[in-house]
Structure 1
Amino acid sequence: MNRPMDGAITAPQRSEVGFRAGVGTCFGTFGELLQGALPGPEQDFLVTLPIARWTTAVLSLSPETDELLVRPAGKHKALRAARIALARYGVRPGGTLTLTSDLPEGKGMSSSSADLVATVRAVGAALGIAVTPAETEACLRQIEPTDGLMYHEMVAFYHRRVKLHRVLGPTPPMTIVGIDEGGQVDTVRFNAARPVITAAERREYRTLLDRLGTALAGGDLAGVGRICTRSAVLNQSRCHKRHLERAMEISRDVRALGVTVAHSGTIVGVLISGDDPRHAGKIRDAVAACTELAGAASIDHTLEPAAARPAQRDDNREGVSYVD
């Protein structure tokens, strides 16, 4: 297949080739390490916290129909992403798109973004095309604000513009002991109605992002914890977490790194270094305290570089292509 000078991709029509099923995967997140806006217009950004939870999209194209169906039936955005991607690559839609996920909806774990990224990757796998992050951005930009999950590295991402700002590097090993405050947040509505971020806050967010980049590059997880805790506090006026102060106390009590939140979601987490010599004991103590606080606690682990894709495949059938 040739790539025209404008970056578009041409692919043969379904009548010209026997398509295999394509499988795309995408990790989720535990909210964001940092989210805010930089000085200037259209500068809203976030730094997501990748975790080892996954969404899988399976696309089976059929030469016998022009109707593309999605399962579950309510995954309308993923269906639109598949149609946009197929049109971008010059292929008429027809077949079935099936999504499965470990990510709950409306909690701030990037379930919608993971659906979309996994879907575009499934299209690429079905067509035998290596879809780049920039091409994925171009497809998703037509749908909704999106996290930067098309990149395996940790990135600062302009989520409203669906555009990369800055690569920050691999995700460090951390464990998040989390609580869910209940309910759901519609991120599209939240982004549309979000209170104004002041000029002073924008300057502070610029400083926090610079410090986060330095801390990640230098392996300074204590610095990372201070930055994400500050971001959580700054976000209280926009998406209040009633358990944030107590979560910060728990973090101090167990000598964790700090706290992180879904800035447009319902979850709050205590961050513990994966390299901490008291890792298991701190997790145990944090789980006990968080369970007492909220009735239940979750344990998630960040997505380390070697695990930027699922370690095992449940479906190794011949004729199935995968893209992670």
Structure 2
Amino acid sequence: MSSYLEGKNAALLKGIGKSFGTFGELLQGVSSDEQNFLITLPINRYSKATFCSLPDFPELIVSPSYRLKSKKIAQKILEKYELPEGGWIEIDSNIPIGKGLASSSADIVATARAVDCCFQLNLSQSELEDLIREIEPTDGVMYEGIVSYYHREVRLREYLGLVPQLTIVSIDEGGEVSTAEFNRMSLCFELEDRLEYDYLLDRISIAIKKNDLITIGHISTRSAILNQKLLYKSQLNDVLEICDKVRGLGVVITHSGTCSGILLDPINPEYCDQLQKTYYLMNGLQGEVTIFHTNN
């Protein structure tokens, strides 16, 4: 498509944007003051968006055509800054859809960055969040590193630090989950649970700043277990047992998705043996096994 349209318009304005995905969340829950929050875990899977402005083109089109949220964020930016609305968006992503890996958030952020790049708008993070807030809750993928984020409000809570080097051996139980529908659920946690989430949030925030991988793994495991009452993963107990056998750092899940993973430290002298054994044992479960790495 791009080569044909470019040939029709020598003065083509083009911008490219990119965003990483996340392997679910290290922690997700509701605080004692009833704030929905999450802690991001960026991975090296990406959405790349190319936006081309064609003022004489009658509409804005997107490819693939079902990436309608990318079209919506582009339209909002173009309308806000009174820019020509004709043109096209192409999305190239290797982030699986419906698995809780922030595919939708990454598409939206990548597209916004592509439009920004095309017109040199220099959108601030807060401006970008204001635009995204009108579309859907988001996973905080516009921020580099690990952040604690109020995803339903589309608002940063705190920047926590650089992403540690980690490997995630994941099992996908299959099917798809709509993150938008999950986020519309009313999360009725008892006060005891919310107080525990307060404690976990405080501890993991400190652990990330100190690069304390053991504590990070313990807390992500606890978050996975607590999430069973919201979105049950039938093989989580098996994954927990495998994690113990291989002496992994802990278990991490896509809280609003279909994947459970085991965290491994590539710096560990036993890493190669751990990775081989984890991969072998996870393949004994039902589902597709994939290895992810953090986005460092």
TM-score normalised by L of structure 1 = 0.86
Q: Residues 173 and 287 of structure 2 are in contact (CA less than 8 Å); yes or no, is this contact kept in structure 1?
A: no
Distance in 1 between residues matched to 2:111 and 2:232, nearest whole Å: 32
Distance in 2 between residues matched to 1:151 and 1:296, nearest whole Å: 29
Greater shift in the superposed pair: 114-123 or 183-192: 183-192
Deviation of 1:66 (Å): 4.1
1:239 aligns with 2:231: yes
2:215 — aligned with what?
223
Distance in 1 between residues matched to 2:191 and 2:197, nearest whole Å: 10
Distance in 2 between residues matched to 1:139 and 1:205, nearest whole Å: 29
Q: Residues 54 and 84 of structure 2 are in contact (CA less than 8 Å); yes or no, is this contact kept in structure 1?
A: no
Deviation per residue, 1:274-302 (Å, 9 max, x gap)? 21111121111100000111254111100
1:29 aligns with 2:22: yes
1:320 — aligned with what?
none
Distance in 1 between residues matched to 2:22 and 2:261, nearest whole Å: 12
1:264 aligns with 2:256: yes
Deviation per residue, 1:207-257 (Å, 9 max, x gap)? 111101111111210000000000000000000011111111111101110
Q: Pairwise CA RMSD of aligned residues?
A: 1.2
2:3 — aligned with what?
none
Q: Residues 59 and 123 of structure 1 are in contact (CA less than 8 Å); yes or no, is this contact kept in structure 2?
A: yes
| Identity between Structure 1 and Structure 2 (%) | 42
| Aligned equivalent of 1:293, options 260, 263, 285 | 285
1:202 — aligned with what?
194
Corresponding letter in the other structure for 2:185: A
Distance in 2 between residues matched to 1:270 and 1:157, nearest whole Å: 23
| Aligned equivalent of 1:165, options 146, 152, 157 | 157
* Matched residues, number: 286
The answer for unaligned runs of 5 or more in structure 1 is 1-17, 305-324
| Aligned equivalent of 2:32, options 39, 54, 62 | 39
TM-score normalised by L of structure 2 = 0.94
Corresponding letter in the other structure for 2:16: V
Secondary structure class of the residue paired with 1:203: helix
2:180 — aligned with what?
188
Q: How does 1:145-164 map to 2 (within 5 A)?
A: 145-164=137-156
| Aligned equivalent of 2:46, options 41, 54, 71 | 54
Deviation of 1:271 (Å): 0.3
Distance in 2 between residues matched to 1:129 and 1:280, nearest whole Å: 46
